[in-house]
Chains A and B, each alone.
Chain A
Amino acid sequence: MSNDPANGRPPGPDQPPSANPAHGSVPLPATGPEAHVLVGSADLFVNWARKSSLWYLLFATACCGIELMQAGASRYDLDRFGAVFRATPRQSDLMLVAGTITHKMADRVKRLYEQMPEPKYVIAMGSCANTGGPFYKDSYCVVKGVDLLIPVDVYIPGCPPRPEALIDGIMKLQKIIMQKKNYGPKA
């Protein structure tokens, strides 16, 4: 097979546009060695990396933790999305608040959140973490929503949410992460 004299490469799908009627008359950039450059934004790359390795802190305080375990196990397999559990906040990107938070636990929630490195995200899983849930009315000991303590990115309703809902919440968070601007001018 002889190389094409125009660019020194074998003829193939990346022939000059004039040879390919599908491209019409739109000129393509030169296809020499100097053109082998991936052009994109740093934000895109960094956000892609972050959303693809959401390591979450094991933080199960009630029955939502059972669904969280299911979502992490083989049937629903959160590892597919790069989300694996960590037992320490220092290695975690995502705090999955799975369960009821009492006032006695509130100080620990804040401390664990503060120990996580930036950037960090929080998902409130289930009614208790969203609003206090069944304990909203007439409870002296339950915090009425974990957003009273720490900032929350995604709320997942359900009592408890099924693993599909949890995975949907994580994918919503991935969309949020993809919209972040890390390197642009500060607003």
Chain B
Amino acid sequence: MEAQAIFDMLKGKFGDAVVELQGEGFGPAFVVVSPAEVNAIARFLRDDPALSFDSLMCLSGVDYKERFAVAYHLHSMKHRHAVGVKAFLPREAPSLPTVDDVWPAANFQEREAYDLFGIAFEGSKDLRRILLPEDWEGHPLRKDYKYPDFYHGIKV
């Protein structure tokens, strides 16, 4: 199924929660959605027989300086089609619902986005830092991140 058809299907089901389709010059195209509805849309994308996106290929955090985004790359083993879903978040206290009850593989990737971007995933099974030490301060992949001078007495 083409991205435009997927977008129209989501638009008919979720209305204003589906904002726009970004597909100029790259693939797969991104369906931009409202962050509050991410979990419901993800469940629909997985369970609808015409879509059946059973594989979450990648979940990424993105820093656009004025705002954050979380991008989901989805793939369907059954229909062999792919689509992206993107949700924009405010710079202050970015937060959106988890999708790890839809795709269990999301957990590690959400932890990575939480660790490196400080994006909170509400309702997550286990939201902890995954790469950095537990007592690390800040989220290093943010564009405004300042490196610490020392960590545990060792120069960084």
- Residues of A whose CB lies within 8 Å of any CB of B are 103-104, 106-107, 140-141, 143-144, 148-149
Contact = CB atoms under 8 A, between A and B. Distances in A.
A140 B152 contact: no
Interface in B126-156: 131-133, 140, 145, 147-148, 151-152, 154-156
24 contacts: A103-B133, A103-B151, A103-B152, A103-B154, A103-B156, A104-B131, A104-B132, A104-B133, A106-B152, A106-B154, A107-B152, A140-B140, A140-B145, A140-B147, A140-B148, A140-B156, A141-B131, A141-B132, A141-B140, A143-B154, A144-B155, A148-B154, A148-B155, A149-B154
A140 B155 CA distance: 10
Given A106-B152, A140-B140, A140-B147, 11 more contacts: A103-B133, A103-B152, A103-B154, A104-B132, A107-B152, A140-B145, A141-B132, A141-B140, A144-B155, A148-B154, A148-B155
Contacts of B131: 104, 141
Contacts of A106: 152, 154
Nearest to B141: A140
The 7 closest A-B CB pairs, nearest first, are A104-B133, A103-B151, A140-B140, A140-B147, A148-B154, A106-B154, A140-B156
Contacts of A144: 155
Interface residues of B, number: 12
B141 to A, nearest CB: 10
Contacts of A140: 140, 145, 147-148, 156
A141 B130 CA distance: 13
A149 B145 CA distance: 25
Interface string B104-137: 0000000000000000000000000001110000
Contacts of B147: 140
A155 to B, nearest CB: 18
B155 to A, nearest CB: 7
A149 B153 CA distance: 10
A103 B140 CA distance: 14
A144 B155 CA distance: 8
Nearest to A104: B133
Contacts of B140: 140-141
Contacts of A143: 154
B145 to A, nearest CB: 8
